[in-house]
Structure 1
């Protein structure tokens, strides 16, 4: 097994909380140096403090992954601090969105969701992959979601963004085959993070998701460990939970019945909270 996550010189986006913070802390435990990037620099600095308290090395960098120039600046900051280009990049930054069907969800929500969840990963790959390819080592981990293939109703923008990340990762795996650069895409279901509190998620739907995550979700620390170990083994797909694996297989075996069942389940989803005007 190639222990590429051991003593890695890594960049983690969305490192201020949730799975991103868990990735950063775990990489530091494995002896790595970590560049913790986040839109909220204050939370990224909190992650750095946790790493330093545990004896690790890290810096915080403010970065909006939806803006290419900021990702390029992140690359420059990482190279300067690390003393060389990173050998592991984790494109994790993302936001939650959902609650309304196609045609009712505002286009602004679509643009913001795709801007962060899909374009953020595209920017990360566009900037960092050429560096990895040139040096013939290291890896890319893209954080998608089981939503990228489960296609749950009322989550179109989120589903599309994560499906794009899966497709991008598959394409990269083909393009980088034989180069020494590994590609992994993470597709979890429910993880106990703060993503359900996003401003683009309907409050009623968010509360249901939080409840499920509390009861059946994995911790971000467990997901991070499993993903890094799988990356070391050269795995392309990581689906930490059994329900993700079952849905992946079911949809491929019986796509039409799957869509009908998903549609029926969607009818039982909570209705969005009425606006102040509707009240």
Structure 2
């Protein structure tokens, strides 16, 4: 029996099921996340969500979910001591050339991608979590010294397995929620025939009609495709909870916030 087979045969029935069907469960989780993103963007309106799913570019939606999920999960992998040791092995004195190349090809690109695509709340969460970890580790070391015990090792776990499982589950839940807040469609200012401007996302076309998801409103809006005179990308920064560090940089486009404010005033009057 190989080591992998022995590992798969150990643990609870649920753990064995997950180990054997990890790829299938991962694909199912991706589809569920994609559907939930559509439901969230549709304003939690089921008919709107079904309309979006009927014409949305599913490849674009799934690819966006994969890339967003990778950006959010990679930092979670990086905090694992074994993975971090493997990635950073090339920085050790006397490391072989293969290890140095692996570190250079993985560490620098991944760090740049992860840092540039962090959402603001996720970045704050990781920073706060790391600070809390350092504080607790330092407190545990001082407590051990006062009790005449050896201080915990650098990579020693601070909590028992049950607490670690709860922390991991909470972190994964937060990551999944962060994915829902990030739209996969660009926000645009769509000028319609007659002078009306709609700020939102163009989902797709069906026949001679185009489906728009207007920002700040619930539901969707079907407009005649030939009635769309122009489309311009919004340069406004997204809401803070969905903004990435890259989104904070200046970019070209039209200012859509004044259009949304004027539309809100018109509908409120």
TM-score scaled by structure 2? 0.27
**Higher Cα radius of gyration:** 2
Which protein has the bigger helix share? 2
The alignment's TM-score, normalised by the length of structure 1, stands at 0.26
